[in-house]
Amino acid sequence: MQQLAITRGPFSYAAQLAVLAVLYFAVAKLSLLLAIPPGYATAVWPPSGLAVAAILLGGNRMWPGVWLGATLANLTVQASGVAAVLIGTGNTLEALVGAALILRLIGLPQRFESGEDVFTFAAIAAVTSAVAATIGVSAVGVAGAMSLADFAANWWTWWQGDATGIIVFAPLILFWTARPSRGWSTSRKFEATSFALVLAAAGYIVFGSGMTSLGFSPALLLLTFPLIIWAALRFEQLEVAAAITALCVMAIVYTIVGPGPFASSSVNASLLLLLAFISIVAVTGLVLRAVVGQVRRARDALHRAHDELEIRVSLRTRELEQANDALRQDIVMRSKLEEDLRRSEEKFRLLVGGIRDYAVFMLDPEGRIASWNAGAESIRDTRPRRSSASTSRVSTRGRRWKAIFRRRSWKRPNASVGSRTKAGGCARTAPCFGPT
């Protein structure tokens, strides 16, 4: 739940309350110029939207500014100070209750996220406006400025003014405080200027040209909706709210002071038509822009997800390529090592196979003779069998070891070399490779 940061210093706080009270008073006096009937109720009450926006942005601590501005504005209209205080209290309660419900159900609506938010906001405005209308009309009635028979009609006028003021002007203030800092391009400025000129011309044709006397007023009202659609599709919510406000102001002014399309001999009928038009234009424009914004955000999110997926796929592809390169290098290295091992074994085999004077055996992990060289086969009467049993006997009988390892008769070595006698275990002088 976000709120506009406000300095906590006592002097700054008092200055902010004073500014809010002055703004409320000035806007209220301008709005009272369009009162129906003159003096205490108007078809639209912009100060109600200003009060709700101030409470939303500044917090509940801004209520004294709302109360002071509303009380002073009504003191200039009402002879009774008690009635003015009660009306100011009703306007303050309306702003507090409306802001609390908006924050609870929507949050700070500096941008409507969906069409449901717009409908919720409009419903809250309609409900909370009844607070100020009930307290205000009751205060006027108690003061004796209004008969009991006019209570319902004046309550309706009061409620309509506050409701339309919240629906039209509160979003405009909220969107303005959240406007982006980036500037417009030249093409966007040209389009905005063209839209403003077309909107002003259409407003004059529909509401102030006097063509309603020709019987085309229903058809002329339809000219405003393409402009709202244009604004919703091409601009942000601030521009849409500004266009809605401009149309509503033109409709109200020409209805009150000129021959507008809603002018009627019955004040209640004019107010009903005016309320219907303002509500339809405001809600339609805000809902359409919220839906368009929601679609654009979803599309942007989809594009971002697509870009992120492409980046991840690219990174994963690069990792797989690196892994494949490493695997290829490992395969080449293993192939080279295997080739070196094969050549080494071949050299060793040739080396061992060329030895004729000694018998060389290869043993398996269990100690049995697995193979031998040609020198072992050339030893007389000692050619071992290839079966596991004979090789086992050969490997365990020491004297057969001597016979196997004797290649030929040897000359008696020198005394330094040493010799063994028959008692020592060798029949003749020769190298011995096993136990006796």
Tell me which residue of 50, 71, 53, 54 sits closest to 62, measured CA to CA.
54
- The answer to whether residue 323 sits within a structural domain is no
- The answer to whether residue 40 sits within a structural domain is yes
Residues 93 and 235 in one domain: yes
Q: Which domain covers residue 391, as residue numbers?
A: 355-436
Partners of 362 in beta bridges = 371
Token reading at 239:
């521009």
Domain boundary among 280, 310, 340: 310
Residues 372 and 300 in one domain: no
Residues 126 and 203 in one domain: yes
Give this prediction's pTM: 0.68
Task: Provide the CA 60 distance to its chain's centre, in angstroms.
Answer: 29
Q: What is the pLDDT of residue 10?
A: 63
Token reading at 94:
């309306």
Residue 109 CA to residue 13 CA, distance in Å, equals 24
Residue 159 CA to residue 191 CA, distance in Å, equals 37
Give buried/exposed letters for 179-202 (b at 16+ CB in 10 A, else e). Answer: eeeeeeeeeeeeebeebeeebeeb
Continuous segment of H or E residues that includes residue 362: strand 361-363
Specify the residue for token string 């507090």.
96
> Which segments in the chain show pLDDT lower than 50?
1-7, 38-39, 380-436
CB-CB contact of 431 with 397 (8 Å): no
- The answer to whether residue 27 sits within a structural domain is yes
Task: Provide the CA 329 distance to its chain's centre, in angstroms.
Answer: 44
Residues 268 and 378 in one domain: no
Residues 23 and 99 in one domain: yes
- The answer to whether residue 343 sits within a structural domain is no
Give buried/exposed letters for 322-332 (b at 16+ CB in 10 A, else e). Answer: eeeeeeeeeee
Residue 422 CA to residue 431 CA, distance in Å, equals 14
Residues 369 and 302 in one domain: no
Residues 305 and 415 in one domain: no
- The answer to whether residue 368 sits within a structural domain is yes
- The answer to whether residue 1 sits within a structural domain is no
Residues 192 and 269 in one domain: yes
Burial of residue 99 (number of CB atoms within 10 Å: 0-12, 13-18, 19+) = buried
Domain count, the chain: 2
**Local structure of 149: helix, strand or coil:** helix
Tell me which residue of 133, 128, 57, 130 sits closest to 97, measured CA to CA.
128
Domain boundary among 244, 275, 310: 310
The residue type found at 348 is F
Residues 131 and 216 in one domain: yes
- The answer to whether residue 372 sits within a structural domain is yes
Residues 271 and 400 in one domain: no
Domain boundary among 310, 337, 366: 310
Side-chain-side CA neighbours of residue 123 (13 Å): 9
- The answer to whether residue 367 sits within a structural domain is yes
Residues 14 and 74 in one domain: yes
Residues 278 and 424 in one domain: no
Q: Between vectors from CA 230 to CA 225 and to CA 236, what angle results, nearest 5°?
A: 120
CB-CB contact of 194 with 230 (8 Å): no
